[in-house]
Amino acid sequence: MAVNVDIVYKTVLLILNQQQRGYMTPDEFNKVATQVQLTMFESYASDLNQQYRVAQNDTEYANRVKNIEEKLEHFQTIGAATFNTDHFVLPTTSTTSTASQTFNTNPPIDGAASSFTVTNWDTSQNSGAIVKVIKDGDALASPAGYNFDASSNILTMAAVPTVGSVITIELYPVDFYRLGTVIYKGSKIADYVQRNELTQLLLSPLTQPSTNFPLYLYEDSKLYVYPTTIQDDITVSYLKRPSNVIWGYTTGALGQFVYSPDSSTQFGLDISEQTEITTRILAYAGVIINDPTIVQAASQEVASEDTNEKT
């Protein structure tokens, strides 16, 4: 179970407003929440490494290695790599869009305008993501069919769409974070080598890679598998990067923000992290509203919790 973004945001607002200390707008919250999630996610690897070096107990719920591994399970996945000329392309793009917008009635396609502003997501979400555009059911290529300016969220069509056309723009996250295991034909695990090791191994007939004992080189986000006769049947396990957090909303009759589950993206972290997420966001909130007492109190709580978990 993931952490609910609405519960966290409302908890943060409750604490901030309890003594009239300040307010976080949804946009501020989304940016801070995304940063907090990434910080905590990236700490899992170092925390796990640290716990492997200390003795663990065998109780059912207090084994720290097991608990961290369970937190990482939300991000573990496997996918097929695609061969391209001389290397494999990793399965880094999600098959499910995180946001989309359709242009046809609001705003209308009037047969004169060729540019449309995307409002269903903010520009920060474009970082590390791929945009796909579909016109009347057909996927378009860029720049032949369209151009998307990620810094302004403006979609510009190569040709003015005719009245009645339907244009849909979708945002797909590039979710690759860390490579795990490279597998050939579902059962043969390829061994990782560095460039200097590979050169030495290829020089001797006794250490040449084979289809039974393949090797792989991973450079510049490209996967090279040896022997080079292997050009298919490669799958990889990897850690996914968590999606940007979004507290989506609509505007009420009084101008208030009303939570919209359909346009929101929940935290990807385990439910057990809810307290630390809230505390870390409060620390950032203290900076935003220039209240050092909130920063100090939240930072002390985070430090205390981290110390308790690691010692």
CA–CA distance, 21 with 13 (Å, rounded to integer):
10
Q: Give the model's pLDDT for residue 144.
A: 93
Residues 6+ apart with CB under 8 A from 311: none
Q: What is the mean pLDDT of residues 159-168?
A: 94
Q: Is the pTM of this model over 0.85?
A: no
Helical spans, DSSP H, in 53-163: 64-72
Q: Give the model's pLDDT for residue 211.
A: 94
pLDDT level of residue 58 (50, 70, 90 thresholds): confident
pLDDT level of residue 306 (50, 70, 90 thresholds): low
Count of residues making up the chain: 311
Region for residue 148 given its phi and psi (left: phi exceeds 0; alpha: psi -120 to 50; beta: otherwise): beta
- Report whether pLDDT(231) > 90: yes
pLDDT level of residue 230 (50, 70, 90 thresholds): very high
Q: Give the model's pLDDT for residue 124.
A: 79
Q: Give the model's pLDDT for residue 298.
A: 58
Decide if 259 contacts 6 (C-beta within 8 A). Answer: yes
Q: Give the model's pLDDT for residue 273.
A: 92
Q: Are strands 191-192 and 215-219 parallel, antiparallel or unpaired?
A: parallel
Place of tokens 């609509």: 250
Region for residue 255 given its phi and psi (left: phi exceeds 0; alpha: psi -120 to 50; beta: otherwise): left
Q: What is the mean pLDDT of residues 263-270?
A: 91
Q: What is the mean pLDDT of residues 102-115?
A: 88
Q: In the chain, pLDDT over 70 holds for what percent of residues? A: 89
Q: Give the model's pLDDT for residue 97.
A: 82
Q: Give the model's pLDDT for residue 16.
A: 84
